[in-house]
Amino acid sequence: MDNNRINPQQYVDEFKDIPPMPNVMVRALEVIKNPQTGIRELANIMSVDQAISTKTLSLVNSAYYGFHQQITSINKALVILGMMKAKNIIMSFALKQMMTAQGSRELWEHSTKCAIASEMLAEEYKVINPDDAFVIGFLHDIGKMLLNAKNPIKYSKVRYIAQQNQADLVEIEDSFFGTNHCVLGALVSKKWQLPVILTNCIRYHHNPVQSSLPGACGIVYIADRLVQPKIPNPILDPKIMDRLDIQISDPLALRESILARASIFLKEMQSPT
C-alpha cells in the first residue's frame, strides 16, 4: 500500500504542522463579527502588532490605494479603508508569515495575486462581495501546504507534471495522493471555522459549476487561471464560462491589469517593516 495516499479528514485532524489560524486574524474577525465593536477596537488590536501597523500605513499611503493625503495613524487609516479592507491587510500579513514559515513563499505570492484578481473581478461582475472575494482568493490553495508537507519531493513532481502537460492539477494530485488540495483546503477551512461560502469556494474553485455557489466560485476559478505564472495565455474552460455567464473579451489585457496592481501590493508587503 502506498503510504503517501491520504485519508483527507484523518490527515487534517492528525496533521501536527498545520498551524491554527493566526491569533491576530482570530481577534480581528471577532471584532468585525461583533456589532457592538468597531474601528477603535480593531485599531487597538492592530496597534499591539507593530509589524501589521507599519504594513497597513505603508499600504494605505502607497499607489495601491492612491489616496492623495498622507495617513499617519492607524485610526485614520481604518476610517478611510473601512474594517473589511483592514481585515484583508491583516490576513495578508498573517498568512505571509504562516506560509513563508512553512516554506510556501511562492504559494503566498500566487495567493496574493489571486486575491487581488478575485476582488477586481467581483467589483466588475457583482456576483460576490469584493471583500469576501479577496479572502476566498487568498485561501483557495491552502490545501497545497498539506500536500507539500506530506511529501515535498512527490508534490514537486506532481506540480511539474501538471505544468508540463497543461493538465488539471487536481487530477494529478488525486492519482498520486488519493485526494487533492481542494478537498484538504475545504477541511482546513472547516477546522478554522470559516464561513460556509469560503469553504465551498475553496472546495470547488477548480470546477465551480459543481458548487451550490457557482458565481462566487467562478470568480475565484477565473482569477486563479488569469494569474497562473507558467501559462502564457490564460486558459478558461468555455463550458464553465458559458455556465457562469461571464464574458471576458481580452483575458491577456485583464491579466496585465491585475498583475500590475498586484505588484504594488506585493512590493509593499515584502518591504522591510
**Any idea what the CATH number is for the domain that residue 231 is in?**
1.10.3210.10
State whether 165 and 39 are in the same domain.
Answer: no
- Average pLDDT, integer, range 26-50: 83
State whether 42 and 175 are in the same domain.
Answer: no
Owning domain of residue 66: 20-101
Residue 269's closest CA among 5, 52, 102?
52
* pLDDT, averaged across the chain: 87
Domain for residue 6, yes or no? no
- 71-80, 141-150, 206-215, 225-234: segment of lowest average pLDDT: 225-234
Where does the pLDDT of residue 1 fall: very low under 50, low under 70, confident under 90, or very high at 90 and above? very low
Q: Give the global pTM.
A: 0.87
Residue 206's closest CA among 232, 180, 230?
180
pLDDT score recorded for residue 16: 60
10, burial (CB in 10 Å: exposed 0-12, middle 13-18, buried 19+): exposed
Tens digit of each residue's pLDDT (9 = 90 or more) over 101-150: 777 788 899 999 999 999 999 999 888 999 999 999 999 999 998 898 88
What CA–CA distance (Å, rounded) separates 106 from 46? Answer: 26
Query: Is residue 2 scored above 70 in pLDDT?
Result: no
Place of cell 470568480: 219
State whether 134 and 192 are in the same domain.
Answer: yes
Where does the pLDDT of residue 90 fall: very low under 50, low under 70, confident under 90, or very high at 90 and above? confident
State whether 110 and 212 are in the same domain.
Answer: yes
